[in-house]
A and B are shown apart, each in its own frame.
Chain A
Amino acid sequence: MTAIIQADTSAAVAGRARAHGTLRYLLRRPAFVVSAAIALGWVVVAIAWPVLAPYPPDQVHPLHAFGRPSAAHLLGTDWLGRDVLSRTLAGSSSVLVLAPASALLAVAVGTAIGLTAGYYRGTVDMVLMRITDAVVTIPGIILDVLVLASFGRSELVLVLVVAAGFAPLVSRTVRAAVLAERERDYIDAARLRQEPAVYIMVAELLPNVLPPILVELTIRLGYAVFAVATLSFFGLGPQQPSPDWGLTVSLGIQYVQNAPWIVLAPAAAIGSLVVSVTILGDEIRAAVER
């Protein structure tokens, strides 16, 4: 009975109660609350920017080009006289679609690889892990640029290459969790019932390695925002006249001497999103591994 009461020391308290405790722990962490508020704020902006933006983001006003921040244009205007605030708000939508898509794809592929390698072990494990090792050894940004340059600059390819860069890292985490989990007795019982391998991986193992996978997802999301912004800065992401942040920074950099607000607004946006999502990932990991 003491075992049931001593929440910290027994396996008795698990599942829902544990998830509940993790959330309560997180809500008491200022770093989590602040970064969650920032990230959530950007999600709201990405969805509701048509309502929030004071001007249409692609409304050109050549006469008002390079306008300083003013009451009419809170963050000034760019080289075509477009409202910087409106463009920054609208620019969130491309990042907040591309980055989560890349992270989700990376986690899905990485989980599949990790489950397969960890469940079969042996040769299958070795082959899969050497392939992922090979992908990891190529510096990510070079790989991405090469692929995007050869396959054309499309947003689909962008998502694919970012995901391809992250999937091996996810697969290692998942594999490690699966290797520990598959030694448990209930897996033996499933094998004695001659359950198909896919059933054991998806129905028996996957639910029990979910916590590290969710942590991976939040961490990869932070990196994905950064990667997508970087690639679009190199011009490999959304193209003009998209208000995408990375693209805007790369185009506006030539005016930074005279009209720094054109670059500063999207740069600050990238910064706030990357930092908040990264802190979010770290906080969640710390809470889960607590």
Chain B
Amino acid sequence: MSGPVLDVADLRVSYTSQSVPATVLSRVTITIGAGEAVGLVGESGCGKSTLALAVMRALPANGTIEAGRIAVAGTDVLALTDHQLRAWRGSAAAMVYQDPTSSLTPTLTVGEQVAEVFRYHEGARRRAAAEAAADILAQVGLTPPRQFLGRYPHQLSGGQRQRVVIAMALAVRPRLLILDEPTTGLDATVQAGILDLLESLRGEFIDALLFITHNLDLITRTCDRINVLYAGRVLESGPVVDVLTEPGHPYTAALLACVPRAQDRAASVRLPAIPGSPPRPADMPPGCTFAARCGLATTACETAEPPLGSYRSRAPDARLRQGALGLAGTAGQGGGPARPGTADWLVRCIRAGEPASASPPPGSAPPPPSTEVLLDVHGLTKRYADVIGCDDVNLVVHRNETLGLVGESGSGKTTVARAIAGLAPADGGEIRWHDSPLAGRVARRPRDVARGLQLVPQHPDTTLNPRRRVGAILARAVKRLRGDLPVPELAAAVRLDAHHLASRAHQLSGGQRQRAAIARAFAGRPELVICDEPVSSLDVSVQAVILNLLADLQAERGTSYLFISHDLAVVRYLAHTVAVIYGGRIVESGPADQVFAGPRHPYTELLLTAAFRPGAGGAARPGAGGAGRPGAGGAGRPAAGGAGRPAATADEPGPATVTGCVFAGRCPVRVGSVCETEPPPWREPQPGHRIRCHHPAFAVAAVPGIQPSNGDTVLVAPGDG
């Protein structure tokens, strides 16, 4: 271990657009030592990917490295010729991009593509390369590898594709691996599988790791150190545990506060969103880049940019904090080798560590859900050829109520939403609206009924007609939906400024587009608004703004929501009742608090453990010493990773069996063959809380195996733990 593997010093990068250069990275210094994993977090547009591309010398044509130094394992990257660069990429440093689909060639088999890496970089013969490819595929959990070598990328799931890309990146053992949002767009359970994989590869295969993400939670699971990037500057850099428990910079603190906490409910609190938006590279303020949005900013902050100074937490005991995060046994403690640089903690702020705003802002409480049934879906069924879209789905939404519909991609959430909206009618079942049947197609529904049921779609980039101005879009909606608010007031209700009305979609940020979409849905007097993953592609700070807005609108107008999401933290914050869908069937439904408190369906359990398990990866980290958290941690993870390296097949949805339980193939607590042969019965462990499972634990309310304790109940599998 001589020097650092990655050494970026005082890097400045600018992009030239219409012959005007704008600095997007400024004085960025990041070092990664051997065996170290460093996280880089920040909101979209803050320069994360630019840094990664600069390190790989793969900036787009209009990007220039203006100053600074980049060295990987002692090699000056900026001095490499194009020819040297080609050999250097892949062998010394490799990068995994966000979208695995575009990283693989659709016309070559996985085996050929992985083997090519060996043939190119190591000059391996065809046969030797094929064998090496099989080995590396096994290492990334694609077992048996023979089964995957001959497949084409489209025959793999998203998680499997990302494993292939990781295998290609690791094939010739690069010193530095850069992961740019490697799990964004993947389901929580698949994401957990990828993170487990990264953990198991650390030490043996992965030396230095740069992990780029907007998701702070992922950083805690994978990294030793964290760098917080904002407007092209590193605002905070330090050990993950310290930074995330006791953030020194107000921006880090604000980012952390945006994520709904377990006890936050839309009925009582709003999320502390960060006001404003990041400065554009073209007009950077002279002082601190965050000053304009900072609650602690003084005049000194606005005049001079503070230096990245060393910082010492005010908290007395670091171990106490680690305990709070559940990170005992991870970096910097126990038998692991002391990693270089773990001690220093840098913050670019003159008021570092001072407490920002106190408690989350209270929200006006919406009227409690009434008992009046607004929407009653019964036996909804839809098939696409021989694939089940949804099967016998029953849902009830009351007035003023938010129903959270939770499931992974492909679970049938969107099928249900589109059937209810009348965009893609179901084949069977009944939808009742105010207790009278609703036509399957939106065009056949009475106009006043249709006006009452609106949609906030998922993709901020296609939700608005790109050719039309926001004002015209809203005006049309108000006219068609018989709204009584004039357009400017409607825009104000969703916190859109007047000048946004003259803009087209491409001039707005993702959050602004989503606000415009919400305004469009609320142009009339909707009784039910279907929100299909409305915040899934937004940064946490923007997500908080949108969630607050939805909560406020519900409080003001008493609108009901059918809120579709894969993000359990978001659902827990917003929903009164929850339905969990898997393989097109509802497997659990009930009041949100009861579903989250348990007992839970094994699938809900899987989703929850995949979503909320801070630092669980520590258990498998090599060289970290200790065996991770004993007891509850192990039992709480019934799915993948039980025995050594997680197999890709275990953590991804398989084909649904039609006769038995849809979840039987992945179920960690399978009772027996009955799960495959007979449809599971509905059990009701608590009034209103229904679970569809064969497991005897659910037969009566309180039984052994379900241990009620401090709100963190776990379903223990028979013969497990």
Cα-based distance from A194 to B464 in the complex (angstroms):
17
Closest chain B residue, CB of each to CB of A184: B462
Indicate whether B520 reaches chain A with its CB closer than 8 angstroms.
Answer: yes
33-50 of chain B: CB within 8 A of chain A:
44-47, 49-50
A194 and B443 in contact, given A1-B46, A9-B60, A186-B462 (Cβ under 8 angstroms): yes
Indicate whether B103 reaches chain A with its CB closer than 8 angstroms.
Answer: no
A192 near B504 (CB under 8 angstroms)? no
Interface stretch (choices A11-19, A66-74, A256-264): A11-19
- Least CB distance from A201 to B in Å reads 13
Closest chain B residue, CB of each to CB of A210: B467
| List of B residues within 8 angstroms of A188 by Cβ | 421, 423, 455, 457
Indicate whether A286 reaches chain B with its CB closer than 8 angstroms.
Answer: no
168-206 of chain A: CB within 8 A of chain B:
184-186, 188-189, 191-195, 204
Indicate whether A268 reaches chain B with its CB closer than 8 angstroms.
Answer: no
Instruction: Kindly supply a per-residue 1/0 record for chain A positions 47-68, scoring 1 wherever the CB is within 8 Å of any chain B CB and 0 otherwise.
Output: 0000000000000000000000
1-49 of chain A: CB within 8 A of chain B:
1-9, 11-15
A186 and B506 in contact, given A192-B454, A193-B477 (Cβ under 8 angstroms): no
B15 near A194 (CB under 8 angstroms)? no
Cα-based distance from A195 to B447 in the complex (angstroms):
11
- Least CB distance from A8 to B in Å reads 6
Cα-based distance from A9 to B481 in the complex (angstroms):
36
Indicate whether A239 reaches chain B with its CB closer than 8 angstroms.
Answer: no
Closest chain B residue, CB of each to CB of A186: B465
A7 near B463 (CB under 8 angstroms)? no
B62 near A7 (CB under 8 angstroms)? yes
A2 and B15 in contact, given A7-B62, A185-B462, A188-B457 (Cβ under 8 angstroms): yes
**A4 interface neighbour in B280, B443, B480, Cβ under 8 Å:** B280
A192 near B453 (CB under 8 angstroms)? yes
Cα-based distance from A13 to B506 in the complex (angstroms):
7
Indicate whether B717 reaches chain A with its CB closer than 8 angstroms.
Answer: no
A194 and B504 in contact, given A1-B280, A6-B62, A184-B462 (Cβ under 8 angstroms): no
Closest chain A residue, CB of each to CB of B13: A2
A6 and B15 in contact, given A1-B280, A193-B480 (Cβ under 8 angstroms): yes
Indicate whether B278 reaches chain A with its CB closer than 8 angstroms.
Answer: yes
A12 near B506 (CB under 8 angstroms)? yes
A4 near B520 (CB under 8 angstroms)? no
A204 and B45 in contact, given A1-B231, A9-B60 (Cβ under 8 angstroms): no
B44 near A3 (CB under 8 angstroms)? yes
**A7 interface neighbour in B17, B46, B504, Cβ under 8 Å:** B17
Cα-based distance from A3 to B462 in the complex (angstroms):
17
A194 near B462 (CB under 8 angstroms)? no
131-172 of chain A: CB within 8 A of chain B:
none
User: In the complex, how many residues of chain A place their beta carbon closer than 8 angstroms to a beta carbon of chain B?
Assistant: 27
Indicate whether B517 reaches chain A with its CB closer than 8 angstroms.
Answer: yes
- Least CB distance from B62 to A in Å reads 7
| List of A residues within 8 angstroms of B477 by Cβ | 189, 193
Indicate whether B135 reaches chain A with its CB closer than 8 angstroms.
Answer: no
Indicate whether A241 reaches chain B with its CB closer than 8 angstroms.
Answer: no
501-515 of chain B: CB within 8 A of chain A:
504, 506-507
Instruction: Kindly supply a per-residue 1/0 record for chain B positions 459-486, scoring 1 wherever the CB is within 8 Å of any chain A CB and 0 otherwise.
Output: 1011111111000010011001100000
Indicate whether A250 reaches chain B with its CB closer than 8 angstroms.
Answer: no
Indicate whether A207 reaches chain B with its CB closer than 8 angstroms.
Answer: yes
A189 near B517 (CB under 8 angstroms)? yes
**B17 interface neighbour in A5, A184, A189, Cβ under 8 Å:** A5
A-B contacts counted at CB < 8 A amount to 109
A5 near B450 (CB under 8 angstroms)? no
Indicate whether A208 reaches chain B with its CB closer than 8 angstroms.
Answer: yes
Cα-based distance from A1 to B278 in the complex (angstroms):
8
Closest chain B residue, CB of each to CB of A7: B17
Cα-based distance from A162 to B459 in the complex (angstroms):
42
Closest chain A residue, CB of each to CB of B467: A207
| List of B residues within 8 angstroms of A192 by Cβ | 421-423, 442, 450, 453-455
**B442 interface neighbour in A11, A13, A194, Cβ under 8 Å:** A194
Q: Which of B50, B231, B278 has the most CB of A within 10 A?
A: B50
Closest chain A residue, CB of each to CB of B464: A186
Q: In which size bucket is the chain B interface? A: 35 or more
| List of A residues within 8 angstroms of B49 by Cβ | 2
| List of B residues within 8 angstroms of A13 by Cβ | 506
- Least CB distance from B569 to A in Å reads 24
Indicate whether B281 reaches chain A with its CB closer than 8 angstroms.
Answer: yes
Indicate whether B297 reaches chain A with its CB closer than 8 angstroms.
Answer: no
**B520 interface neighbour in A5, A14, A189, A191, Cβ under 8 Å:** A189
**B481 interface neighbour in A2, A4, A15, A193, Cβ under 8 Å:** A193
Closest chain B residue, CB of each to CB of A181: B462
A14 and B60 in contact, given A2-B24, A4-B280, A185-B458 (Cβ under 8 angstroms): no
- Least CB distance from B421 to A in Å reads 6
- Least CB distance from A117 to B in Å reads 18
Indicate whether B350 reaches chain A with its CB closer than 8 angstroms.
Answer: no
Indicate whether B22 reaches chain A with its CB closer than 8 angstroms.
Answer: yes
- Least CB distance from B158 to A in Å reads 20
A189 near B457 (CB under 8 angstroms)? yes
| List of B residues within 8 angstroms of A186 by Cβ | 462-465, 473
A15 and B454 in contact, given A1-B280, A9-B60, A191-B423 (Cβ under 8 angstroms): no
- Least CB distance from A32 to B in Å reads 22
A191 near B281 (CB under 8 angstroms)? no
Closest chain A residue, CB of each to CB of B480: A193
Cα-based distance from A166 to B506 in the complex (angstroms):
35
Closest chain A residue, CB of each to CB of B15: A5
A2 near B50 (CB under 8 angstroms)? yes
| List of B residues within 8 angstroms of A6 by Cβ | 15, 60, 62-63
Cα-based distance from A207 to B472 in the complex (angstroms):
14
B463 near A189 (CB under 8 angstroms)? yes
| List of B residues within 8 angstroms of A193 by Cβ | 450-451, 476-477, 480-481
- Least CB distance from A102 to B in Å reads 28
| List of B residues within 8 angstroms of A191 by Cβ | 422-423, 442-443
Cα-based distance from A9 to B99 in the complex (angstroms):
14
| List of B residues within 8 angstroms of A208 by Cβ | 465-467
Cα-based distance from A192 to B424 in the complex (angstroms):
12
Cα-based distance from A207 to B466 in the complex (angstroms):
9
B447 near A194 (CB under 8 angstroms)? yes
A185 near B459 (CB under 8 angstroms)? yes
Closest chain B residue, CB of each to CB of A1: B45
Closest chain A residue, CB of each to CB of B477: A193
Instruction: Kindly supply a per-residue 1/0 record for chain A positions 104-138, scoring 1 wherever the CB is within 8 Å of any chain B CB and 0 otherwise.
Output: 00000000000000000000000000000000000
A4 near B45 (CB under 8 angstroms)? yes
Q: Which of A11, A12, A184, A194 has the most CB of B within 10 A?
A: A194
- Least CB distance from B457 to A in Å reads 3
Cα-based distance from A257 to B45 in the complex (angstroms):
73
Closest chain A residue, CB of each to CB of B50: A2
A194 and B480 in contact, given A7-B17, A186-B464, A188-B423 (Cβ under 8 angstroms): yes
- Least CB distance from A185 to B in Å reads 3
Cα-based distance from A192 to B454 in the complex (angstroms):
6
261-295 of chain B: CB within 8 A of chain A:
278-281
Could you list 27 examples of A-B contacts with CB < 8 Å?
A1-B46, A2-B46, A2-B50, A3-B45, A4-B17, A5-B24, A7-B62, A8-B60, A11-B461, A11-B506, A12-B506, A12-B507, A14-B504, A184-B459, A185-B457, A185-B463, A189-B455, A189-B457, A189-B521, A191-B423, A192-B421, A193-B450, A193-B480, A193-B481, A204-B465, A207-B467, A207-B468
Given contacts A194-B442, A194-B480, 6 further A-B contacts (CB under 8 A): A185-B462, A186-B465, A189-B520, A194-B445, A207-B465, A208-B465
B contacts, CB < 8 Å to A: 15, 17, 22, 24, 44-47, 49-50, 60-63, 231-232, 278-281, 421-423, 442-443, 445, 447, 450-451, 453-455, 457-459, 461-468, 473, 476-477, 480-481, 504, 506-507, 517, 520-521
A contacts, CB < 8 Å to B: 1-9, 11-15, 184-186, 188-189, 191-195, 204, 207-208
The 9 nearest A-B residue pairs measured at CB? A185-B457, A5-B15, A207-B467, A184-B462, A1-B45, A193-B480, A14-B506, A185-B463, A186-B465
